Chains A and B, each alone.
Chain A
Amino acid sequence: MTAKAFTRPLMYLILALLSILFLIPVYVVIVTSLKPLDEVTLAKMWALPTHIDFSSYAEAFSKLAPNFWNSVYLVIPATILSAFLGSLNGYVLSKWRFKGADWIFTAVLFGMFIPYQSILIPLIRFLSHIGLYNTIPGLILVHVVYGIPITTLMFRNFYASIPMEMIESAQIDGAGIFKIYRHIMIPLSLLGLVVVGIWQFTNIWNEFLFAVTITTTDQHPIMVALQNLSGSQIVQWNVQMAGAIIAALPTLLVYIFLGKFFVRGMLAGSVKG
Chain B
Amino acid sequence: MKRKWLMAFTALILTFSLALLGCNSDSKTGGKSGGKNGKGTKLEIFSWWTGAGEEDGLKAILADFKKKHPDINVVNAAVAGGAGTNAKAVLANRMQAGDPPSTFQVHGGAELNDGWVAAGKMEPLDDLYDKEGWRDKFPKDLIDLVSKDGKIYSVPVDIHRGNVIFYNKKIFEENGLQPPKTFDDFKAVADKLLKKGITPLALGDKEPWAATMVFEDILLGKLGPDDYRGLWTGKVGFDDPRVKDAAETFKSWIPYFNKDHSSRNWQDAAQLVGEGKAAMNIMGDWAKGYFTNDLKLKTNVDFGWTTTPNTSDDFMVITDTFGLPKGIDNPDQVKTFLSYLGSTEAQDIFNPLKGSIPARVDADPSKYDEYGKQTMEDFKTAHITPSLAHGSAAPEGFLTKVNNAMNIFVTQQNVDNFINTLVSASSDLK
Contacts and interface: CB of A to CB of B under 8 A. Distances in A.
A200 B171 CA distance: 56
Interface residues of B, number: 37
B265 A231 contact: yes
B411 interface: no
Nearest to A234: B267
B25 to A, nearest CB: 4
Contacts, number: 89
B78 A217 contact: yes
Contact of A234 (B28, B99, B268): B268
Given A133-B35, A135-B35, A137-B21, A232 B93 contact: no
B54 to A, nearest CB: 14
B24 interface: yes
Interface stretch (A26-34, A108-116, A121-129, A150-158): A121-129
Interface in A166-223: 213, 216-219
B294 A137 contact: no
Contacts of B22: 137
Contacts of A218: 32-33, 77
A131 B37 contact: yes
25 contacts: A73-B24, A73-B29, A77-B20, A124-B93, A125-B97, A128-B98, A131-B34, A132-B35, A135-B25, A135-B33, A135-B34, A135-B35, A136-B24, A136-B25, A136-B29, A137-B22, A216-B86, A217-B77, A218-B32, A218-B33, A219-B29, A231-B265, A233-B271, A234-B271, A234-B294
A128 B265 contact: no
Contacts of B86: 216
B99 A217 contact: no
A8 B29 CA distance: 57
A228 B271 contact: no
B265 A232 contact: yes
B63 interface: no
Contacts of A128: 93-94, 96-99
A27 to B, nearest CB: 23
Interface in A206-252: 213, 216-219, 228, 231-234
A131 B33 CA distance: 10
A89 interface: no
B50 interface: yes
A168 B294 CA distance: 72
A94 interface: no
B255 interface: no
A216 B268 contact: no
Interface string B296-340: 000000000000000000000000000000000000000000000
